Amino acid sequence: MADQTRSDIALLYRRAGFGIRPDELDALTGAGYNAAVDGLLAGLGSAPDPGGDSVTVPVFHIYQRPPKNFTQAQRKAADAVYATELRDLQDWWLNRMIKTSTPLREKLTLFWHGHFATGVVKVRDAKLMYLQNQLLRTTGAGPFDQLVQAVAKDGAMMVWLDTATDVKDHPNENFAREMMELFTLGVNNYTQDDVVAGARAFTGWRYDRLAYEYRFVPRLHDYGSKTYLGQTGDWNGEDAVNIAVRNPVSPRFVMAKLWSHFAYPVTPAEPVITDLVAAYGPSMNLTSALEAMFKHDAFRTATTRTNLVKQPIEYLAGAARALGLDATADRTGSSPSHGSGRPLAVIATALGQTPFNPPNVGGWGQNAYWLDTSTALVRQEAALFLAMRADLTSIGSIPPSQRPAAVARMLSIDGFGPTTMTALAAAQTNPVQLMALALASPEYVLA
Amino acid sequence: MAMISRRKFLTALGAASGAAMVGGAAWGIDASTQRSAPRTQASTSGPLVLITLYGGNDGLNTVIPYTDPAYKAARPNLGYDPSVVLAMADGLGLNPKLTGVHGLWGQGKLAVVRGVGYPNPNLSHFESMDIWQTANPADGAGTGWLGRWLDATGTDPMRALSVGTTLPLALRGQSQSASAVTATSINVPGGPQFEKPFTLMQAPGPDRTGLAGQIAGSGNNLIKVKGQLDALHTHIPSTTGPPTTASTPGSPSGAGRTRSAGQGTLSASDVTAPLGIVAALINAGSPARVYQVSLGSFDTHADEKANQEKLLANLDEGITSFLDAVAANPAGRNAVLMTYSEFGRRPIENASGGTDHGTAAPLFVAGHNVKGGFYGEEPSLTHLDANGNLVFNVDFRSVYATVLEKVIGFDSKDVLGGTFPTLGFV
């Protein structure tokens, strides 16, 4: 029973966080699984995060739109500033994930980054991406309607999906469509007429990129009557969001997205979603939904354990956390001696998941999306790299036959199957190789 | 410039000694060794070599309507003078940097499909590129068009190879993907002593079902591709130097990275090295039916002339060097190169010496046995759409249907979800 509780809490911390160290797991096991869930939920909202807040926030320049007459050299200089700030921002977030004391909030932020996928490649302003990231962190467990309202007025989102160019005479359909298709309802739950009406509702929305503030410009807004998702009225952008999140299909869509990323991929029709929707309720309470999900009997099952692959960012942050490394793969607390810097963000890109730069508005895929020959090779290279940087004396100091089990404990997984054990046996005299193999094993690559 | 590119190309081919090399003959591979090569079963069917041009290449300054007064009117600064344009026919000519491609045109080895696009064009790079890569003009959602071909034709990881660090959506299916390589061979990281445990780790086993099986399977595919590449290398004569070897660029230094001297890191702004790798693989008898390489960025909102010319010169060098290199190889002679970009650019130049996002554009199809000439109509410069952009007249899925049916040899309906008329370039 204690072993099962231990395994369940390790699963919880892999999904709701970035893994758990063996001593932390020992400490939590006595109080039981539900107490562990409650502890994670207590770190949502505005709870203090001494670990995460110990990471220094990068300094961002004030955004200046490059003048039309910029020379090539001036553009290059501006691009260099932007590239530096983006790298700092990526390191900052990865280090937060590695050091956070409120892992669920950090993991939920990563989830919303994929849901409200916004790419810096179009936004081209690290500060806007930072502000969106903070918004997802502070509002991500609140009522869902408030989250979507805030994201709709977020500067990075408004640039990314062109809301900031939406004018009465020429409504831009981009945000209205994706808000329904990707954020609130799902494909085929709206019509092109709804898209056109929604775009009209968002006309007049602007973002002041110097003040970093949302503005409403009445003269650009279409005050005419609009029929949108079956309701007719003089709808504005806030109305468009409210009507969408209160549409009957929305709760199942949102809850299925949550379950798919924390447990395993499902469609909104899956029976388990009914239980999450009940907890989510008419107030769209995301914290209640998270509690219902993690405490659901279907969460702590073999189905959950075998049906989700770690996405690269959580894979790398989790490995670094377990091995005592930071985002530059230096040992936490040691002076930066390697010099090369920021390999985690570089590896994440090589694995196909650049922080702050999802491939498109649909975000990243799941499971098979992360499995191809290139990622298999990069994953093994990354695993060797991290293992070489880690302090593995605790592994090297015990008899080889006990090492695989000790590695599994370090990585917060239950253990290894016979096929993996055969491979590990071939490397167990070499702690670096053993750890590198374990990090690339199916048991660890599964979430 | 040209000399540097040429050297890079030779380096990618493994000609580390820098010895003179005349086309594919330097590989010493002829049809008889191809047919006797074990494992590879090289066929004389040519592969498709897809060249992705990221950023939206300006079609009007690639295949230039230099006799059209509307072109000069739209491009007072960016327009090319008729005296420098490489004349073709129909009042069209090539960008001055495309000298090699112009030579192919003269030999009847270059097809230009004009005005390629899709209905309701999307001016977002990302969405339009997704549309092209999924062949889904509605919203660019779903699997890649070549990924669907892979899904339907078994599990051999050597059917399609993408040269580069990331695997484009076009080559990702539901359960199958192309293999991504960055050299003509793969080195397992960690040195020779790590190879055995690494291989054991990818083994199938009764305890590895579902996703765990797929995770091991991707590693197993890596080993299979490595094995096939290693086998191919036994057919590369040693006189041309050692095979290039690299692990994935972008990986951190010190992470078991090995790379033979002379092979630079692949760059997103160079297509000659990736095409050199493709040529070497084809000459060595690689069974892949599809290769993918990419070049960018063509997003020339400002200072277009210098930026686009640099990229087109690189493309020109890549295409002509590739065709030279495979000229003596039966599969290479039937290889079909095809360029595409997510969109062309707006006819009217902007105030920054560049052009903004556009729509329809020409694409190149080149090969020794390609039927050269123009396909499709040149879009009108005077009847533009509401955004001032060109109106397409060849659906890009017709081009896909053509290469699926006539190059890859697969029923295009199964991939494209409909029937599109094929073109005559192969």
pLDDT in tens, B77-96: 999 999 999 999 999 999 99
Inter-CA distances, B180 with A195, A429, B111, B322, Å: 38, 32, 28, 20
Query: What is the reported pLDDT for A334?
Result: 58
How close A428 gets to chain B, by Cα (Å)? Answer: 10
**Are residues A378 and B217, on separate chains, in Cβ contact within 8 Å?**
no
Give the helix/strand (H/E) hosting A215.
strand A213-216
DSSP category for residue B246:
B
**8 A C-beta contact, residue B112 and residue B370:** no
**Are residues A382 and B200, on separate chains, in Cβ contact within 8 Å?**
no
Higher pLDDT, B357 or B397: B397
For B286-298, what is each residue's pLDDT tens digit? 999 999 999 988 9
Domain residue ranges of chain B, discontinuous segments joined by +: 2-11+42-182+266-416
What's the average model confidence in pLDDT over B113-117?
98
Residue B236 has pLDDT above 60, yes or no: no
**8 A C-beta contact, residue A36 and residue A12:** yes
The interface residues of chain B toward chain A in range 290-319, judged by CB-CB distance below 8 A, are: 302-303, 306
Residues of A in contact with B189 (CB under 8 A): 377, 380-381, 384
Complex ipTM value: 0.94
**Are residues B225 and A445, on separate chains, in Cβ contact within 8 Å?**
no
> Which residues in chain A land under pLDDT 50?
336-340
Q: How far apart are the C-alpha atoms of B326 and B334, rounded to whole Å?
A: 9
> For residue A395, how far is the Cα from the chain centroid?
31
Beta bridge partners of B93: B64, B87
Residues of A in contact with B141 (CB under 8 A): 187, 362
**The domain B2-11+42-182+266-416: what is its CATH number?**
3.40.720
Nearest to B157 among A373, A380, A445 (CB): A373
Nearest chain B residue to A439 by CA distance is B201
Nearest chain B residue to A427 by CA distance is B197
Give the helix/strand (H/E) hosting B398.
helix B396-403
Query: What is the reported pLDDT for A1?
Result: 66
> For residue B147, how far is the Cα from the chain centroid?
15
How close B178 gets to chain A, by Cα (Å)? Answer: 8
Residue B7 has pLDDT above 70, yes or no: no
- Beta strand B336-341 with B160-163 is unpaired
Query: What is the reported pLDDT for B245?
Result: 37
Residues of A in contact with B161 (CB under 8 A): none
Query: What is the reported pLDDT for B250?
Result: 34
- CB pairs A-B closer than 8 Å: 184
For B189-219, what is each residue's pLDDT tens digit? 888 889 999 999 999 999 999 999 999 998 9
- For residue B297, cis peptide bond before it (omega within 30 degrees of 0): yes
Range with top average pLDDT, B43-52, B110-119, B301-310: B110-119
**Are residues B175 and A368, on separate chains, in Cβ contact within 8 Å?**
yes
A345 Cβ contact list (under 8 Å, min separation 6): A87, A90, A91, A94, A327, A354, A355
- Beta strand A226-228 with A231-233 is antiparallel
Nearest chain B residue to A445 by CA distance is B215
Tokens of A405: 């089990």
The dihedral region occupied by B293, where left means phi > 0, alpha psi between -120 and 50, and beta the remainder, is beta
Q: Please tell me the pTM assigned to this model.
A: 0.80
Query: What is the reported pLDDT for A323?
Result: 97
Range with top average pLDDT, A118-122, B31-35, B410-414: B410-414
Nearest to A437 among B127, B186, B197 (CB): B197
Nearest to B130 among A360, A376, A436 (CB): A360
What's the average model confidence in pLDDT over B252-278?
60
* Mean model confidence pLDDT for chain B: 83
Give the helix/strand (H/E) hosting B226.
helix B210-233
**Are residues A437 and B352, on separate chains, in Cβ contact within 8 Å?**
no
How close B236 gets to chain A, by Cα (Å)? Answer: 24
**8 A C-beta contact, residue A180 and residue A195:** yes
Residue B20 has pLDDT above 50, yes or no: no
Q: Is B141 on the interface with A (CB under 8 A)?
A: yes
Domain residue ranges of chain A, discontinuous segments joined by +: 2-245, 250-306, 312-445
Most A-contacting residue of B146, B159, B171, B215 (CB-CB within 10 A), to test interface: B215
The interface residues of chain B toward chain A in range 152-181, judged by CB-CB distance below 8 A, are: 157, 165-167, 169, 172, 174-175, 177-181
